[in-house]
Chains A and B, each alone.
Chain A
């Protein structure tokens, strides 16, 4: 177990800069999730920590030691690949014991470690099978088992659940969380599934185009996203964004008039706002509730019944629209005029450049 820290980390592929100056401090025993859209460089960062990809600039430290020039072997990390990368010609037992065999661990000790890992993951029955004789979920477990037997300084996971079906993914997510509780090891986990990120992580790092946008707890990311990108990326369904202008800012409150009618008030944030300044208003779909005198008016475009929840898509003016998340028993007809009020805690203001200027607090 060890802390992992990235300082000014950079990666170039030829002339293309893929990772741009990333600083990240991951505490000992922390479960950190790296999220971001496809191609933003999550895997590249993980591979640089593992030693599979050369580092173009900055440094990676594991347990306080700079590991830039160390081979993967010397870094003592374990990695679970998206494709699992199980050795096809070896049995489950041999797959899990491979690192111990290479390290020339005593036979009895290796057997005990394999047994312990197999017990944790429920693989006891499958030890003599070859990977091709296993289901996707079982392979995933073997890949995990191969990591567990190592007692590594840190676990690295690159989208380990993305090849599983939805039900299995939920189950494995729970098992992973339990595994972390049980082992208490440092874990760095890459995904682009934000539900996985929110449920597993103690802290989430959100990346966009090779830059770290924000590194915070799931609650902080949700409540105080640093910019519009993070606000949109975290939370499902996505945050609504409407255009508006500051009408008045005084007594710790900001009143914003929306471009397509209606007015919304937010507690003012860290930066001073001048009347007339254009802002982007972010409203969480779950922060909206129907109200007879509601400030936000629109007509129903689409209603999605999901059972426990109903998603109502509302046209707001000619160009804008927003989504409202309501209880399952909410009923509305297409074209109905509806009015909503926004809970102050779910409204955020961003300036024209997308930076957070005011956030509703809980």
Chain B
């Protein structure tokens, strides 16, 4: 008994205790290094070369690819359109998601209607990007249903070529993305709304708050953590969105819906210029990182 108690371990208990957490995360870190870190470093290396992958002996060119991108007006057009597309998507996702969540949470709507609406409202979430693309290309076809309705209502005077006109394509595309993405907000905010204690609204009512003041002073502050989290995640995701844009417009007509992801894709798989594509990809990464920075900062503040 005495002997076992006094036997000293080779490594002290305190040291082992400190090492254990590292042992737990080691497998994940190894996978991360293999699957994420290595490709990232490889892409960065390609972006500093001329003719990576396709040339036998690619030469090191420093930041020449970046400079070439920055001198290309289409690059800047894509950056601007990406930000426009992303910002509007996030704003409308939030507004529509919040509106529907409030509606579904309202005791004024009868329960049967509520569960029906709930199913209806999450539908967009069930479709993959390709199906969404097909649906909306049909609906927004010049000969499609939407034009027919709008013309019947005299909102438009002629058949609008939603996706084929440079003036409307980006907005039409953004609209489709808004339609496809709001259910995540709706579901998260609805869960959040159901978690707000009822007494807070009752106390506010007694303190003299009307419905709008209750929304502003109780609902919004209570939902702020959820709003910030999903808005930042959505911002990062939307900035990189590819399948929807590619399958609906492919970036056209004449670059009018070119976003960073389609721009990069074309460099890689249409021009086979993997070095240029790598440098564009790094630019997307940096843009996403800036949003991620806020996300992490917000998570820490929680």
Using CB atoms and an 8 Å cutoff, list the residues of chain A in contact with chain B: 50-52, 71-73, 77-79, 81, 83, 85-89, 98-99, 102-103, 146, 150
- CB of A102 within 8 A of CB of B209, answer yes
**A106 to B188 Cα, complex, angstroms:** 39
**Known interface pairs A52-B202, A71-B205; 4 further A-B residue pairs with C-beta atoms within 8 A, sorted by A's residue number:** A73-B210, A78-B206, A81-B202, A85-B203
- CB of B208 within 8 A of CB of A103, answer yes
**A5 to B147 Cα, complex, angstroms:** 63
- CB of A98 within 8 A of CB of B217, answer yes
Q: How large is the interface on B (under 10, 10 to 19, 20 to 34, 35 or more residues)?
A: 10 to 19
**Minimum CB distance partner of A150 in chain B:** B207
* Most A-side CB within 10 Å, residue of B197, B199, B206, B222: B206
6 A–B contacts from the bound complex (CB under 8 Å): A51-B206, A52-B205, A72-B202, A89-B221, A99-B208, A146-B207
- A89-B222, A98-B217 given; A73·B209 CB < 8 A: yes
Cβ-closest 3 pairs across A and B: A85-B199, A99-B207, A85-B203
With a CB–CB cut-off of 8 A, which chain A residues contact B217? 87, 98
**A98 to B208 Cα, complex, angstroms:** 9
**Minimum CB distance partner of A102 in chain B:** B208
With a CB–CB cut-off of 8 A, which chain B residues contact A79? 202-203, 206
With a CB–CB cut-off of 8 A, which chain A residues contact B209? 73, 98, 102
Quote the shortest CB–CB distance from A45 to chain B (angstroms): 15
With a CB–CB cut-off of 8 A, which chain A residues contact B122? none
B218 is an interface residue with CB less than 8 A from chain A: yes
Quote the shortest CB–CB distance from A157 to chain B (angstroms): 13
Question: Which of B190-245 touch A at CB < 8 Å?
Answer: 197, 199-200, 202-210, 213, 217-218, 221-222, 224
**A99 to B203 Cα, complex, angstroms:** 10
**Minimum CB distance partner of A78 in chain B:** B206
Q: Select which of A77, A85, A86, A99 is within 8 A of B202 by beta carbon.
A: A85
With a CB–CB cut-off of 8 A, which chain B residues contact A85? 197, 199-200, 202-203
**A83 to B222 Cα, complex, angstroms:** 17
**Minimum CB distance partner of B224 in chain A:** A89
**A102 to B211 Cα, complex, angstroms:** 12
- CB of B221 within 8 A of CB of A72, answer no
Quote the shortest CB–CB distance from A69 to chain B (angstroms): 15
Quote the shortest CB–CB distance from B99 to chain A (angstroms): 22
With a CB–CB cut-off of 8 A, which chain B residues contact A99? 207-208
Quote the shortest CB–CB distance from A329 to chain B (angstroms): 49
- A89-B221, A98-B217, A102-B213 given; A83·B206 CB < 8 A: no
**Minimum CB distance partner of A47 in chain B:** B202
With a CB–CB cut-off of 8 A, which chain B residues contact A50? 202, 206
Quote the shortest CB–CB distance from A79 to chain B (angstroms): 5
**A89 to B202 Cα, complex, angstroms:** 16
- CB of B199 within 8 A of CB of A83, answer yes
* Most A-side CB within 10 Å, residue of B204, B208, B209, B218: B208
With a CB–CB cut-off of 8 A, which chain A residues contact B208? 73, 99, 102-103
- A87-B218, A98-B217 given; A72·B205 CB < 8 A: yes
**Minimum CB distance partner of B209 in chain A:** A102
Quote the shortest CB–CB distance from A132 to chain B (angstroms): 13
- A83-B199, A87-B217 given; A98·B207 CB < 8 A: yes
Quote the shortest CB–CB distance from B288 to chain A (angstroms): 30
* Most A-side CB within 10 Å, residue of B203, B204, B205: B203
